Structure 1
Amino acid sequence: MKSNRLWKTTIPGFIALFLCATSNFSPSLAGDFLPYDTQTSLSGWTPDSPEGPKLPATPFSPAERYIDNSYGDQSGDVHTYCVGSPGTLFQWSYENSFGGGPDLDAPLVTDRPDFTEASSTVGRGVSQLEFGYTYTYNADDGTTDRSQSLGEPLLRYGVFSNWLELRLALFPVDQRVTMAGRSNSTAGTEDLYLGAKIALTPQECFLPEMALIPQMTIPTGSNAFSDGEVLPGVNWIYAWEINDFISTAGSTQINRRVDEGTGRAYSELAQSWTIAYSLSDNLGAYTEWFVLAPNSADTDQTQHYFNGGFTYLINNDVQFDIRYGKGLNHAADDYFVGTGLSIRFK
């Protein structure tokens, strides 16, 4: 069985850095220049000024749209969504970038149903439960493998600041393998997943919204599904909102894995790219490619997948999703299909 993947190209990120290098690029700690419990000046304002703080002019129209719609009104007055805590750990520059982070009055942002995780956190004191079901089918050389991931619960909880969330997941699995007309079924749980998502930067013109997830699995699973050792990894996520209809994101991961054939550990590169479409206020869709590429594995091989799906927003705190994916090469599973629900508790 190809184990269930919770872990959801770098070149576009470096291109973005180059394009914005002349736009006063100056990464800084968010809390160093923007107190989030007040409206704060960004340029040319002092406490004695008769008028409130105004946004500086910027030559990049994408940044102007992003700032106006997300962080202020058309007058330029600064608005903050999560009072008392920076939304991201860093800012791209002193002049054009501020805020970021979760907006609790807007619809929830989920990590499912695609492979690429969200580039934002849930917010301090907010919990979000994402769960679902996935059926996976694969037939190779006279052996048929059918597996069901039951529940897929992922708990996300914001702690200390709006840019940090803790993550915990445990996947129950039921697998049935048929060979030469004889079937064998096994049920149990996979290893416990632990992680922490750090919201690094908001989007500024061509510069992406970014997050980093240090993560690991701990060998708590059933004998049939446990890897038997702690497997660490890291996930870097980068995303751009292009306009009101389309957004795009990618992730680059390096995770420790165990070879299914020999039990020897190796490092695996996981790369993904997704495009999301806003079809209406409640209905969304996505298409995505991802690859799992072992490095120095004994028997595990590179797997390519393409998948897509839909999301339906029941209300701002509840979202339903469906998805379908297909393996693109012989080593990949033939297909998978799933559905899920995400709930935010504020």
Structure 2
Amino acid sequence: MPRTLTLKACCVIAAVAVFAGQAASAQVIDANRPGFSFTTGVVPTGRWQLETGIGYARPGSGGARTTSLPLAELRYGMTDDIEVFVYSLNWSESESANGDSSGLVDAVIGTKIAVGGGERLRSAVMFQLSVPIGDSDFSSDSWDPSVAYVWAYDSRIPLAGTVVVSDFGDRYQLDNGLQVPFSINDRQSAFVEWEMNLPEGGSDAHWLNGGLLLLLDDRRQIDFEVGVGLNDAAGDYRLSTGFSILF
């Protein structure tokens, strides 16, 4: 079977499995944002979670800059271990010496399945499919599947990360994040993260990200993030701030 059809089949099968059961659950908000790496947690059964923000990036030298908002992600808990989601719901505006462009970005739909682990290890798998609804300058014009493995390991120095394999039809791309999260107090936490974007046949990009999370209460969170490009293929820098709510 062609590789594109194989990945798409995995996404479809996982999506069908998601709608099979229901259970009850409750927890403090556990947002995917900020940072590249996703959380291993899923939204409580029957609850919705909205994550939004605004981002500013300077992709490279030469004065180029991009603003994106509302960076929305909507998540819904199907069972104790399964959620469905849609994200990358945002408008992007890019300005550079070569001209300006703006428009909708392709959305992404998918499911996350918590697969457990040991006493210290937590993990989840994600099946995603991009939806080509974006405007011409911000769309691949194709349904691009991807699979992700999300993990977190509790130890004296906690570690977390996300590995994503995407199929863009004519090429694969591997994206990987390695994160060190730490608590400041009961309501504040932070992280540092090394992000790698490794396109097949292209130039690898490396980022150093850092962020601060502030828990307003059990259902609401605000966050701040900054990323700095570590090589020429990466951008110069990017900034983001956001708000998430569980309801």
TM-score of the aligned structures, taking structure 1 as reference length: 0.62
Matched, 1:107 2:28: yes
What code does the residue aligned with 1:163 have?
Answer: D
1:334 corresponding residue in structure 2: 236
Q: Distance in 1 between matches of 2:143 and 2:23?
A: 33
Q: Is the 8 A contact 2:29 2:218 kept in 1?
A: yes
Pair 1:210-2:123 in alignment: yes
Which amino acid letter does the alignment assign opposite residue 152 of structure 1? L
Which residue in the other structure is 1:195 paired with?
A: 110
> Which whole-Å deviations, capped at 9, do the CAs of 1:222-259 have from their partners, x for residues lacking one?
0111101111000001112236xx632111110124xx
TM-score norm. by structure 2 comes to: 0.86
Partner of 1:265, secondary structure, is coil
CA RMSD of aligned residues (A): 1.7
Aligned to 2:170: 265
Q: CA deviation at 1:340?
A: 0.2
Please state how far the C-alpha of 1:122 moved relative to its aligned partner: 0.7
Query: 1:148 maps to which residue?
Result: 67
Task: Using CA pairs under 8 Å that are at least 6 residues apart, name the structure with larger relative contact order, 1 or 2.
Answer: 2
Task: Specify the alignment match of 1:227 in structure 2.
Answer: 140
Task: Note if contact 1:203-1:240 (Cα within 8 Å) is conserved in structure 2.
Answer: no
Could you tell me which residue of structure 2 aligns to residue 249 of structure 1? Answer: 160
**Counterpart amino acid of 1:254?**
V
Alpha-carbon distance in structure 2 between the residues aligned to 1:327 and 1:236:
24
Kept in 2: contact 1:247–1:277 (CA 8 A): yes
| Structure 2 residues not aligned, in runs of 5+ | 1-21
Q: Is 1:237 paired with 2:150? A: yes
1:265 to partner: Cα distance: 3.0
Aligned to 2:196, what secondary structure does the other structure show?
Answer: strand
Distance (whole Å) between structure 1 residues aligned to residue 139 and residue 101 of structure 2:
13
Runs of 4+ in 1 over 6 A off after TM superposition: none
Structure 1 residues 121 and 240, CA gap change in structure 2 (3 angstroms): same
Change (3 A) 1:203 1:343: farther
Structure 1 spans left out of the alignment, 5+ residues: 1-83, 87-101, 258-263
Is the 8 Å Cα contact of residues 60 and 234 (structure 2) preserved in structure 1? no
Kindly report which structure 2 residues correspond to 1:92-103, keeping only aligned pairs within 5 A, or say none. none
Percent identity, aligned pairs only, is 29
- Give 3-state SS (helix, strand or coil) of 1:281's partner: coil
Distance 2:52 2:158 in 1: 24
